[in-house]
Structure 1
Amino acid sequence: MVAPAGGGSPSRWPSEEELNIVRKNVAEISGGDAREVRVVACPYRICPLGAHIDHQGGIVTAMTINYGVLLGFVPSDDAEVVLQSGQFKGVTRFRVDDLQKPIENRGNITWESYARGAVYALQNSGYDLRKGIIGYISGVNGFDSSGLSSSAAVGIAYLLALENVNDLVLSPVDNIQLDKSIENKYLGLENGILDPSAILLSQYGYLTFMDCKTASPSYVYFSEPSKSQQPQGRLPFKILLAFSGLQHNLPKSRGYNMRVFECKEAARALLCASGCEDAPILRKVDPGVYEAQKCILDENLARRAEHYFSEMKRVVKGRDAWARGDLQEFGQLISASGGSSIVNYECGSKEMIQLYEILLKAPGVLGARFSGAGFRGCCLAIVESGRAEEAAAYVGAEYERAQPELVSKIPADRRVLVCEPGDSARVILHA
């Protein structure tokens, strides 16, 4: 299963400068030739619609951006893995023939856990790993903990590198399930398949739709209205990423997993009321049954179910709007998704909600929402191409006025970023 052929992003990522920095670091670690260094480029993702419904078998949308994780690597001479990070100190060493066991305490998760998790996932799927890697990993622009799927990007980067040096040829769908194994079985998180699907299947110019019940993707090309004055090959919008300055892991695992549990409890109650004993996920609840039986849910479960069913409707409407190039409606649906995440799914810290509301008022912004759960990290917005810089300046100034202490902690070059859609993860072989 492959993504459709596209024209490729006009905003090339990674740049030769970024690649050369990674290659140089790997050469210094390995003592080899920088020209022999291979690089995995794993872009970060955004999810315009389909928030918090992937774990309930919902349909979600995604695209990547032209920033991400770079993992430079060369094969090691044996089974040893040697890794350094551009964001964290120290060197990690282990062997791919060592048996990896799931992490029991999430407090023990570190930057090296994702490399071990990749080995664990491949081992438990029956793949024979004989060679390790010597590598250097860097999150471009330091996008760690920002709600852009950085953990999935890192996990996939290690999977692709290990597969490359061990001559394993796996499909994107195989790697989606392997990354899910890293998150669910090794790290103990209840994540769905949205993040790895976006990273592995996205294509510039297309919106990726992932049916999380069947694990099948589909693609809708952006049909740009003929009146557009955009340069050839460019889309008539850009993506704003506005960073909150909140980096603490607040209720990431506890809060996220509790909401997943509540969705399942809502599904269980609705299915029982209709005489069905299916596994409790909301996708198995007929929308008509939900409308007829939602009165039986307590207030908390009712809000979770309402988010799911209203978000599914927004995804369907969003597909149609994207296909006909209607950015106005598409943006309105994104903002409505953000509102439901706050009211019905009850995500978002005070500061993140404040940032979301500032984005909604920015010039040229068509729609905005949290990127991720909304407890920390950043918000995203779709903005008219010609007004992107103006909107970025507005958001930066307004948020600094509202949260001067938090903004002071954010590097000046990443407070509000103007991005473009990107492509899928790939291995760049040699210089």
Structure 2
Amino acid sequence: MVAPGGGAGGGPSRWPAAEELDTVRKKVVEISGRDEQEVMVAACPYRICPLGAHIDHQGGVVTAMTINYGVLLGFVPSNGSEQPLFFFQVLLHSGQFEGAIRFRVDDLQKPIDKPENINWGSYAKGAVSALQNSGYDLRKGIIGYISGVKGLDSSGLSSSAAVGIAYLLALEHVNDLVISPVDNIQLDKYIENKYLGLENGILDPSAILLSRYGYLTFMDCKTASPSYVCFSELNKSQQPQGQLPFKILLAFSGLQHNLPKKRGYNTRVSECKEAARALLHASGCEDTPNILCNVDPVVYETQKCVLEENLSRRAEHYFFEMKRVTKGRDAWAHGNLQELGQLISESGRSSILNYECGSKEMIQLYEILLKAPGALGARFSGAGFRGCCLAIVESDRAEDAAAYVRAEYEKAQPELVSRIPADRRVLVCEPGDSARVILPDPHLSS
């Protein structure tokens, strides 16, 4: 069973696996002393963005799908008639960080004032703050254990959004709050924008909350409205059990830093807004909000000469990425993986040349992926300053591609590769489903 609005799974490689759920449930039993039959699990997958790079914050249309890896938050409500004072308590342990986080849901959570003050418990407090400021009454806290995939945090897979959504779903569930996925997108945006001070758009939470296996999710970030396109080959008989004819390769660079080091990201957002301001001013629309989705493409073509060189590159990335998204929709709908892959690679190149993101190591990894056997297209996953690159590869050549990338990147960056666990250097993934709350298994022994 799942929470209202959650996905139900359905791909051939369902996530999470039974053993993963069992591990998380047992940890919650250890922490809380409660019965395993009481433990619920918020399962929030990581996401990739094949097309629509860096345009969500400008109200663009983006594409997304989840993968069969993610964050698991096992939890029970922190209530009990014998301990009424603990109704409001949040007590959390982590599989990645030492110590415990403890606070009350009836305490006012003030926004983080400095990036260096953010810690692993900040997302839980941000979830409480988002719900509080949206007028929801929280009468119960949670006792929980959260676990992601070691090495996949800070990797450009929206792990931070997955964590925030996990806390939202858990708090909503124990407080009997029925909140739609679209509203939860805005609540997660509050966590990132208002509580943590990051200028993220809605791509990440939209992908995590709205994706469906076998479909490419298209999100209009101006209207916050999703649409879905089914892969045309999905239901054909030669695809056994609904298996898609491609795999997702994730190659990790070994470069990591915390997301709160946000100057590069926020600078690019500001430059996009400045480009929009200049174009709108030149077209006599000074009072229109300064984001690029408010600039008509015809206006861009006729007025782009007014832009300074760096602003011109940002605008060019936005408008051509929008065209790539439209073409990508058609390619996906017709099962044309070759064209889709070419568009993904063009997006990656524009991210480097026009959006000017990506460290030299990430660019090197991107170039290696393009040469991998069976690779159809590649780009950064995330901003490209650290983390990983993704590639869409032919299913029957995925393992060969992974072996090639491991070997070539290790030759190029042996020191960085040594920092990555051997089983996390290159992952072969499949598309996933949406975030959901998994209720206790009635067959669990007491």
Structure 1 413/7 Cα, relative in aligned 2: closer, same or farther at 3 Å?
closer
Residues paired across the two proteins, number: 430
Write out per-residue CA displacement over residues 11-45 of structure 1, whole angstroms, 9 at most, x where no aligned residue. 01101100010000000000111221100000000
What's the counterpart of residue 304 of structure 1?
314
Find out whether 1:343 has 2:353 as its counterpart: yes
State percent identity of aligned pairs. Answer: 82
What's the counterpart of residue 327 of structure 1?
337
What's the counterpart of residue 143 of structure 2?
134
Find out whether 1:398 has 2:400 as its counterpart: no
Query: Which SS does the other structure have where 2:212 is aligned?
Result: coil
Q: How does 1:256-275 map to 2 (within 5 A)?
A: 256-275=265-284
CA contact (8 A) 2:215 2:228 kept: yes
Query: Which SS does the other structure have where 1:345 is aligned?
Result: coil
Choose the corresponding residue for 1:62, options 40, 61, 64. 64
- Alpha-carbon distance between aligned partners in 2 of 1:251 and 1:304, rounded to the nearest angstrom: 22
- Alpha-carbon distance between aligned partners in 2 of 1:423 and 1:144, rounded to the nearest angstrom: 19
- Alpha-carbon distance between aligned partners in 2 of 1:313 and 1:20, rounded to the nearest angstrom: 45
- Alpha-carbon distance between aligned partners in 1 of 2:139 and 2:314, rounded to the nearest angstrom: 46
CA contact (8 A) 2:246 2:394 kept: yes
What's the counterpart of residue 52 of structure 1?
54
Q: Which amino acid aligns with 1:152?
A: A
What's the counterpart of residue 27 of structure 1?
29
CA contact (8 A) 2:198 2:260 kept: no
Structure 1 228/314 Cα, relative in aligned 2: closer, same or farther at 3 Å?
farther
What's the counterpart of residue 234 of structure 1?
243
Q: Which amino acid aligns with 2:12?
A: P
What's the counterpart of residue 290 of structure 1?
300
Choose the corresponding residue for 2:220, options 211, 215, 237. 211
Find out whether 1:38 has 2:40 as its counterpart: yes
- Alpha-carbon distance between aligned partners in 1 of 2:425 and 2:112, rounded to the nearest angstrom: 34
Query: Which SS does the other structure have where 1:140 is aligned?
Result: coil
Query: Which SS does the other structure have where 2:370 is aligned?
Result: helix
Q: How does 1:167-246 map to 2 (within 5 A)?
A: 167-224=176-233, 229-246=238-255
Structure 1 313/391 Cα, relative in aligned 2: closer, same or farther at 3 Å?
same
What's the counterpart of residue 379 of structure 2?
369
Which 10-residue stretch deviates more, 291-300 or 249-258? Answer: 249-258
Structure 1 190/415 Cα, relative in aligned 2: closer, same or farther at 3 Å?
same
- Alpha-carbon distance between aligned partners in 2 of 1:39 and 1:206, rounded to the nearest angstrom: 25
- Alpha-carbon distance between aligned partners in 1 of 2:119 and 2:299, rounded to the nearest angstrom: 44
Which 10-residue stretch deviates more, 221-230 or 170-179? Answer: 221-230
Write out per-residue CA displacement over residues 119-161 of structure 1, whole angstroms, 9 at most, x where no aligned residue. 0000000000010000000003441101000000000000000
TM-superposed deviation, 1:248: 2.2
- Alpha-carbon distance between aligned partners in 1 of 2:34 and 2:68, rounded to the nearest angstrom: 29
Q: Which amino acid aligns with 1:171?
A: S
Find out whether 1:254 has 2:263 as its counterpart: yes
Choose the corresponding residue for 1:153, options 145, 155, 162. 162
CA contact (8 A) 2:230 2:333 kept: yes
What's the counterpart of residue 107 of structure 2?
98
TM-superposed deviation, 1:233: 0.6
Which 10-residue stretch deviates more, 26-35 or 111-120? Answer: 26-35
CA contact (8 A) 1:183 1:189 kept: yes
Q: Which amino acid aligns with 1:195?
A: D
What RMSD in Å do the two structures reach over aligned CA positions? Answer: 1.6
TM-superposed deviation, 1:380: 0.4
- Alpha-carbon distance between aligned partners in 1 of 2:418 and 2:224, rounded to the nearest angstrom: 42
Choose the corresponding residue for 1:425, options 406, 410, 435. 435
TM-superposed deviation, 1:234: 0.4
Q: How does 1:74-89 map to 2 (within 5 A)?
A: 74-77=76-79, 78-89=87-98
- Alpha-carbon distance between aligned partners in 2 of 1:4 and 1:333, rounded to the nearest angstrom: 30
CA contact (8 A) 2:252 2:388 kept: yes
Structure 1 159/225 Cα, relative in aligned 2: closer, same or farther at 3 Å?
closer
Point out where structure 2 has 5 or more consecutive residues left out of the alignment: 80-86, 442-446
- Alpha-carbon distance between aligned partners in 1 of 2:330 and 2:419, rounded to the nearest angstrom: 40
CA contact (8 A) 1:49 1:337 kept: yes
TM-superposed deviation, 1:231: 1.9
CA contact (8 A) 2:115 2:261 kept: no
- Alpha-carbon distance between aligned partners in 1 of 2:60 and 2:396, rounded to the nearest angstrom: 34
TM-superposed deviation, 1:8: 1.3
CA contact (8 A) 1:3 1:203 kept: no
TM-superposed deviation, 1:355: 0.2
Write out per-residue CA displacement over residues 84-124 of structure 1, whole angstroms, 9 at most, x where no aligned residue. 00000000100000000000101111110000000000000
Q: Which amino acid aligns with 1:60?
A: V
Q: Which amino acid aligns with 2:355?
A: Y
Choose the corresponding residue for 1:124, options 133, 146, 158. 133
Query: Which SS does the other structure have where 1:153 is aligned?
Result: helix
TM-superposed deviation, 1:250: 8.2
CA contact (8 A) 2:8 2:433 kept: no
- Alpha-carbon distance between aligned partners in 2 of 1:412 and 1:421, rounded to the nearest angstrom: 23
Query: Which SS does the other structure have where 1:232 is aligned?
Result: helix
- Alpha-carbon distance between aligned partners in 1 of 2:99 and 2:258, rounded to the nearest angstrom: 22
CA contact (8 A) 2:6 2:209 kept: no
TM-score (ref. length: structure 1): 0.97
